[in-house]
Structure 1
Amino acid sequence: MGVCPLARMSLLRDNFTGPLHPCAWPKVLTCTCWRAPIIWDGTFDPDVAQQEAVQQNLTIGLTVFAVGRYLEKYLARFLETAEQHFMVGQRVVYYVFTEGPVAVPRVRLGPGRRLRVERVARERPWQNVSMARMRTLHAALGGRLGREARFVLCMDVDQHFSGTFGPEALAGSVAQMHAWHYRWRRRMLPFERDARSAAALGRGEGDFYHAAVFGGSVAALRQLTAYCVRALEVRWHDESHLNKFFWLHKPAKLLSPEFCWSPDISRRAEIRRPQLI
């Protein structure tokens, strides 16, 4: 499979890393077989990434769903740490999707940074959340979010920022390597293999397992969410459909497990500076 056409165009136009230095970290994979960079600490110059983004006068969207107990338990810390570490010096619009807008915490935002709160229904059972999230994102990208932001990153709320998360994470289509599975061989990765599912991958298919963080340009994300919405009508779960999409439409850039790491994983020498915990 080749790179998604939208991703291929932005791979050259929207790199935001300047010259990459893959040899700076020789013990890890720094490039995919379709020539997309895998971003690790030390393989790029953060100052160059920042300057390129400033020159393009970007607005970056960050979406998060805070429903049920996740609103009270996680959202405040997520937003507070985002203000400290996420796209510092850039224009940012946070989109919080929740069934309890009045309970969204007041967080002091820096210049050029805004918070939008969008009401969504609380889905039951939990499986329905998978379907609702992709529908909601697709609609938002076709509405105000799509008009306000040039690039959008989608994240889970039950985590917090612990290090600089800058423009090096941006590209036309971006997927993150799952922290728990990046060392596994392909045949062991938890892709959907049930042929009855629209998300199924055949024997030998699938390359990297993605979750936690994904994003890209508004156009590319509209394509992704539209695909997932159609597929989810057949069978959830959205993570499986996300991985099926990235198998069919290769992302222009991969984020290493440093971009979303779990402290429950034993210490790894290649994880030097986690951005999300």
Structure 2
Amino acid sequence: MQPEKNEKSSTRKCFCVLIYLVLLSLASFCWINLKRSRWHPQLTICDPQTKAQTDVSVSRLEHLPIASLESMLYEKPNALKPPRTDVLMLTPWLAPIIWEGGFNIDILNAQFHQRNVHVGLTVFAIKKYTVFLQIFIETAEKFFMVGHKVNYYVFTDRIKDIPNITVAEGRQLVVLEVPSYQRWQDVSMRRMEMIRDHSQQRFINEVDYLVCVDVDMKFSDYVGVEILTDVFGTLHPGFYGSSREHFTFERRKQSTACIPPDEGDFYYAGGYFGGTVEEVFKLTNFCHNAMMTDKANHIEAIWHDESYLNKYFLYHKPTKILSPEYLWDNNFGGRDFLKKRRFVAVPKNHNAIRNRRALNDYSRLRAKLKFLG
């Protein structure tokens, strides 16, 4: 009888040990998987036939393209000698200000070619402004983003007036029909709405960056990938070097574009801004919504879309700033700091292109500009 009891007791002990080992194995397995899941993202795959789900550990880093290294010869940068000392080249928030002599375009081209970037260039050829499109596109073909893929997005209310222009391989001219407005101020302000809407509906699927400029201009020197960044603005040539009190910001507190007298970094031009499609969408969405708020309160900012652009850049700092090289009017003459004139205004008869009120507005603007020579 005693041996039988000992045998049963031994069997129970073996069974308990076995159960303990199984539980220990399960606990170890769960702990290892939990630890691994902290470091490896899980992709859940659903089988449409069985509705079964399988967790597959996949890292998105595994799908990144292999980096290729190419040799390049160029002059070594001198850490003790800045490229220029006559102009400001860096903002307090560490955004570079783009000047001739401050970058190596060959290095930048190589970097952006590796990324295979596609750039969109938007212009508004509304009413009689279609007359500027020919020289705009022809000079852009010669100087703008040479060697890179470009889409020209032309907003117009006069499709029949758009000239037949042949563009280089890798580039295309896209004509977008939009409504017109009686006042040029309304045309100017509605640009923000149209760029915003097309960014969401089309541009986001076609290009990586957007450059938004005026059409009554021409390229006279190279403008390349050195300008590309998350979001950029351009220094207004008429206010370069001026103090805050001379900036024609919107000062009325009732306006959403209001900038207090003791605030403001630079005065940015409304006719030249850009960045990634996502950032341009955010910028134009803010400006349009602010305009609509003011319109509901019967307020129109002093310089229309440009006033709202300056308000946006005050509190959403641009990640690059273009110098007056990128937006110039030859009526200002030459300046010692200006080594390039990359994008210049086309001489025009404002009375013929706009209406009489527009001419008067333009004359008042010229009278306000205090340029430091």
In the superposition, the TM-score normalised over structure 2's length comes to: 0.67
**Closer, same or farther: CA 20–230 of 1 in aligned 2, 3 Å:** farther
Paired with 1:128 and 1:39, the residues of 2 have a C-alpha distance of 31
Q: Which residue of 1 aligns with 2:114?
A: 55
Q: Which residue of 1 aligns with 2:307?
A: 240
Contact kept? 1:191, 1:240, Cα under 8 Å:
yes
Paired with 1:130 and 1:80, the residues of 2 have a C-alpha distance of 24
Contact kept? 2:244, 2:261, Cα under 8 Å:
no
5+ residue gaps in structure 1?
1-18
Summarize the alignment of residues 45-124 of structure 1 with structure 2, pairs less than 5 Å apart: 45-72=104-131, 74-124=132-182
Shift in Å, 1:27: 0.6
Shift in Å, 1:102: 2.0
Paired with 1:140 and 1:227, the residues of 2 have a C-alpha distance of 15
Question: Does 2:272 align with 1:205?
Answer: no
Question: Does 2:269 align with 1:269?
Answer: no
Of residues 121-130 and 177-186 in structure 1, the stretch that sits farther from structure 2 once superposed is 121-130
Identical pairs, percent: 40
Contact kept? 2:90, 2:97, Cα under 8 Å:
yes
Contact kept? 2:208, 2:277, Cα under 8 Å:
yes
Paired with 2:119 and 2:183, the residues of 1 have a C-alpha distance of 32
Shift in Å, 1:196: 1.6
Paired with 1:130 and 1:24, the residues of 2 have a C-alpha distance of 37
Contact kept? 1:20, 1:44, Cα under 8 Å:
no
Question: Does 2:182 align with 1:128?
Answer: no
Matched residue type, 1:61: G
Matched residue type, 1:130: S
Question: Does 2:225 align with 1:167?
Answer: yes
In the superposition, the TM-score normalised over structure 1's length comes to: 0.90
Q: Which residue of 2 aligns with 1:30?
A: 89
Shift in Å, 1:266: 3.0
Matched residue type, 1:272: K
SS of the counterpart of 2:288? helix
**Closer, same or farther: CA 132–20 of 1 in aligned 2, 3 Å:** farther
Q: Which residue of 1 aligns with 2:102?
A: 43
Contact kept? 1:149, 1:218, Cα under 8 Å:
yes
Larger helix proportion of the pair:
2
1:250 corresponds to which of 312, 317, 320: 317
Partner deviation per Cα, 1:186-224 (whole Å, 9 max, x = no partner): 221111111121100012111111112100001101100
Q: Which residue of 1 aligns with 2:213?
A: 155
Paired with 2:252 and 2:279, the residues of 1 have a C-alpha distance of 27
Contact kept? 2:120, 2:207, Cα under 8 Å:
yes
The alignment yields a C-alpha RMSD, in angstroms, of: 1.4
Paired with 2:207 and 2:137, the residues of 1 have a C-alpha distance of 18
Partner deviation per Cα, 1:85-136 (whole Å, 9 max, x = no partner): 0000000000000001121111121110011000011111222113321110
SS of the counterpart of 1:264? helix
Matched residue type, 2:339: R
Shift in Å, 1:20: 10
Matched residue type, 1:180: G
SS of the counterpart of 1:24? coil
**Closer, same or farther: CA 230–20 of 1 in aligned 2, 3 Å:** farther
The count of aligned residue pairs is: 258
Is the radius of gyration larger for structure 1 or structure 2?
2
Contact kept? 1:61, 1:95, Cα under 8 Å:
yes
Question: Does 2:249 align with 1:191?
Answer: yes
